[in-house]
């Protein structure tokens, strides 16, 4: 996409659009965490790990809009619907 004015200097003080995945610094994951790290997600538990001798157990959760199932520590689950 060509910018108005034809030079990078013409972009100064202008609002622009870009994709999070195209951010060079900081890491795109840091941007997502800062913007959305406190948002609540809702999903359906597919499976629960066998914690065995370890104290921690995990849930495998499917969330609409996310391609890969998420693995979440059970102790971090805030509620059940």
More confident residue, 2 or 36: 36
The whole-number average pLDDT for the span 1-18 is 77
Contact 45, 72 (CB under 8 A): no
Four-point Cα dihedral 5, 9, 11, 13, nearest 10 = -130
Q: What does the alpha-carbon distance between residue 36 and residue 51 come to, in Å, rounded to a whole number?
A: 29
Residue 22 falls inside a structural domain: yes
User: pLDDT tens, 21-69?
Assistant: 999 999 999 999 999 999 999 999 999 998 766 678 999 999 999 999 9
The whole-number average pLDDT for the span 4-10 is 73
- Show the tokens assigned to 2: 């060509």
Residue 3 falls inside a structural domain: no
Residue 15 falls inside a structural domain: yes
Residue 41 falls inside a structural domain: yes
Q: What is the pLDDT of residue 28?
A: 94
Domain containing 49: what range?
8-76
Q: What is the pLDDT of residue 41?
A: 95
Query: The pTM is what?
Result: 0.72
Residue 61 falls inside a structural domain: yes
Residue 50 falls inside a structural domain: yes
């Amino acid at each position: 996409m060509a910018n108005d004015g034809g030079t990078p200097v013409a972009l100064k003080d202008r609002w622009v659009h870009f994709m999070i995945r195209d951010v060079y610094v900081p890491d795109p994951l840091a941007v997502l965490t800062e913007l959305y790290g406190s948002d609540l997600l809702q999903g359906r538990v597919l499976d629960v790990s066998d914690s065995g001798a370890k104290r921690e157990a995990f849930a495998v959760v499917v969330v609409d809009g996310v391609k890969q199932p998420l693995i979440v520590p059970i102790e971090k689950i805030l509620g059940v619907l």
